[in-house]
A and B are shown apart, each in its own frame.
Chain A
Amino acid sequence: MPNLLTIETICFEVLKYSFLVPVLLFLVFYNKLKLRGYVTFSLVAYSLLFFLFLFFDKSLSDLNRHIYTTSYTTIEYIFFSWALLLMIENKRAKQLVVILSILFIIFQVTYFFTAKFKTIDSVPIGIESILIFTYVILLFSEQFKNTKNKYIYQNPWFFIVTGILIYLSCSFFFNILAGIDKESVRGYWFLTYIFETIKNILVSIGIYLYSSKSKDDAKKNSRSIPYLDMI
């Protein structure tokens, strides 16, 4: 068990500081990223907030585990759905995301006050995952119709969405089963840290690509104004 604990601690520490990578990238490329709108801002805010969550994990968790896990799930859902909402262009799909999100928040409040809390809020996490998968499918189907002669992996959003998808789908069984048999899941819990770290790395790649995309846009704009240097 000490070995497992060490692995879990290492993975947790790596995860904790991996949340800082998007924040650092944002600070380095601030001038380029400030033009990219709210997607990068929301992801950076999410990363910073969750770094703080993990930094004070023990004290916050001890304070009230029920509130802590519920707010963790809710805030995570809000940031993910907000980022996806910004990426989706179709108006109807956007409306669907908003409606489902409102329903989810209502459900979360109701669940918080009515359901008996065990180790983790498995049901809300399960619903959160399914909703986010739905939004990801909506985004992919929309982007497939609109290829614009560009490979899908050249888009920054692809890495961000892939990161979210990997994290939520691979942690799905952990979150569901943790409510049933805490002890069996505990031994492998470090895997969720690895999946979340992968997500943070992919989000960082997405943010970096957003910054290089701004560079391309700037070049294109400068090309569209000919002979400006001659004025």
Chain B
Amino acid sequence: MFFLQTNGPSVSTVLLLGTAGMVVLVVSIIIFLIMHQRRVLRFQNRIAQMEQEQQKILLNASIKLQEEERQRLAADLHDDAGPLLATARLYLNENLVNQDKATQLQAIFQARQIIDDTIQLVRNISHSLMPPTLKNFGLESAINDLFQKISGSGTINASSRFHEYKERLKEEKELIIFRVVQELINNILKHSNSSFIHLTQNVHADKFYLRIHHDGRGIVQSDFDKLNKSNIGLGLKNISSRMRLVQGNINFEKDISQTYYKVTIELPKDEPYQ
């Protein structure tokens, strides 16, 4: 305060220097705020843009997958159901009335056999679109059924175990999770060359978990992220978009023992449990 108590010029100097300091300080603060906020906004915009691009890739993947599914359906109907029905029609032509009774019976029997095969074929197509076990008995039964079928083929040992599944998830969520599991199993069967697949389900700290272990070749999270951003790996992109739909996470990693690959599906418990 001694500085302030001296006469005229000293106070003027303090006044001018202090005010100049204040002006510089305020202007610097304002410029800093503007620049900093611009940088933050630019960063946010870049993230939003990247997210948009990612969504576009996922959308394209899902459209492509849908088209592939339609093509498969069209091929099944055209190549299998079409010829079967055409054959049945041949057996049941107008000349049949002019044939003797034994031939007529033979033709009707053949046609019936073909129609039965066609019914079975249509049923199979329908089941591949929406498994009846999933609709009627839930995710646990559908996954157990799927694993039994895989195990039944004798090429791979597949098992599943649900520890805490007293209440079913919402129907559409069950279907989404089932499709994700189907896609993962499909990939494991196709690419991993593993000798076993094991699925476990449990609930921990408000989260619903599904874990798949296998002993073949697999991918880790960084591979999954890379494939998700690239133009290949349609199935994985589809898994990503499905997981996003149920607000869940999927994590690919190697087991602690570094022997097995582990895929973890995580869902918020409060939302699906209605």
Interface residue tally of chain B, by bracket?
20 to 34
Q: Which residues of A contact B33 (CB under 8 A)?
A: 140, 152
- Bound complex: CA of A152 vs CA of B30, how far in Å? 10
Q: Which residues of A contact B12 (CB under 8 A)?
A: 184-185, 187-188
> Which positions 108-153 of chain A face chain B at CB distance < 8 Å?
140, 144, 147, 149-153
Q: Closest CB-CB distance, B195 to chain A, in whole Å?
A: 53
A170 contacts partner chain B, Cβ-Cβ < 8 Å = yes
- Bound complex: CA of A25 vs CA of B16, how far in Å? 34
| Chain A CB within 10 Å, residue with most, of B8, B26, B38, B41 | B26
B8 near A170: Cβ-Cβ < 8 Å: no
Q: Which residue in chain A gives the minimum CB-CB distance to B29?
A: A165
- Bound complex: CA of A150 vs CA of B4, how far in Å? 45
- Bound complex: CA of A191 vs CA of B16, how far in Å? 10
Q: Which residues of A contact B44 (CB under 8 A)?
A: 147, 149
A55 contacts partner chain B, Cβ-Cβ < 8 Å = no
- Set B5, B11, B29, B37: member contacting A144, Cβ < 8 A: B37
Q: Which residue in chain B gives the minimum CB-CB distance to A192?
A: B19
A166 contacts partner chain B, Cβ-Cβ < 8 Å = yes
B15 contacts partner chain A, Cβ-Cβ < 8 Å = yes
Q: Which residue in chain A gives the minimum CB-CB distance to B45?
A: A149
- Set B11, B29, B30, B34: member contacting A180, Cβ < 8 A: B11
User: When A183-B8, A185-B11 are in contact, do A165 and B26 touch as well, CB less than 8 Å?
Assistant: yes
Contact flags A180-217 to B (C-beta < 8 A → 1, else 0): 11011101100100000000000000000000000000
Q: Which residues of B contact A184 (CB under 8 A)?
A: 8-9, 11-12, 15
A177 near B14: Cβ-Cβ < 8 Å: yes
- Set B5, B23, B38, B40: member contacting A170, Cβ < 8 A: B23
B105 contacts partner chain A, Cβ-Cβ < 8 Å = no
B37 near A170: Cβ-Cβ < 8 Å: no
B19 near A170: Cβ-Cβ < 8 Å: yes
A172 contacts partner chain B, Cβ-Cβ < 8 Å = yes
- Bound complex: CA of A144 vs CA of B4, how far in Å? 39
- Set B5, B15, B34: member contacting A174, Cβ < 8 A: B15
> Which positions 21-54 of chain B face chain A at CB distance < 8 Å?
22-23, 25-26, 29-30, 33-34, 37-38, 40-41, 44-45
- Set A152, A169, A183: member contacting B25, Cβ < 8 A: A169
B18 contacts partner chain A, Cβ-Cβ < 8 Å = yes
Q: Which residues of B contact A191 (CB under 8 A)?
A: 19
Q: Which residues of B contact A149 (CB under 8 A)?
A: 41, 44-45
- Bound complex: CA of A71 vs CA of B19, how far in Å? 25
Interface residues in A, total, Cβ within 8 A: 25
Q: Closest CB-CB distance, A144 to chain B, in whole Å?
A: 7
A172 near B22: Cβ-Cβ < 8 Å: yes
A101 contacts partner chain B, Cβ-Cβ < 8 Å = no
| Chain A CB within 10 Å, residue with most, of B12, B38, B45 | B12
Interface residue SS majority, chain B: helix
User: When A147-B44, A169-B25 are in contact, do A174 and B19 touch as well, CB less than 8 Å?
Assistant: yes
Q: Which residues of A contact B8 (CB under 8 A)?
A: 181, 183-184
Q: Which residue in chain A gives the minimum CB-CB distance to B36?
A: A144
A185 near B15: Cβ-Cβ < 8 Å: yes
Q: Closest CB-CB distance, B51 to chain A, in whole Å?
A: 14
User: When A147-B41, A147-B44, A151-B38 are in contact, do A177 and B16 touch as well, CB less than 8 Å?
Assistant: no
Q: Closest CB-CB distance, A103 to chain B, in whole Å?
A: 25
- Set A147, A153, A165, A177: member contacting B34, Cβ < 8 A: A153
- Bound complex: CA of A140 vs CA of B4, how far in Å? 33
A107 contacts partner chain B, Cβ-Cβ < 8 Å = no
Q: Which residues of A contact B5 (CB under 8 A)?
A: 180
- Bound complex: CA of A4 vs CA of B41, how far in Å? 47
A74 contacts partner chain B, Cβ-Cβ < 8 Å = no
A151 near B19: Cβ-Cβ < 8 Å: no
- Bound complex: CA of A172 vs CA of B30, how far in Å? 18
- Bound complex: CA of A165 vs CA of B18, how far in Å? 15
19 residue pairs from A and B, CB less than 8 Å apart: A140-B33, A144-B40, A147-B40, A150-B41, A151-B41, A152-B34, A169-B25, A170-B19, A173-B18, A174-B15, A177-B18, A180-B4, A181-B7, A181-B8, A181-B11, A184-B9, A187-B12, A188-B16, A188-B19
Q: Which residues does B use to contact A, with CB under 8 Å?
A: 4-5, 7-9, 11-12, 14-16, 18-19, 22-23, 25-26, 29-30, 33-34, 37-38, 40-41, 44-45
Interchain residue pairs A-B with the least CB separation, the first 3: A173-B18, A184-B11, A181-B11
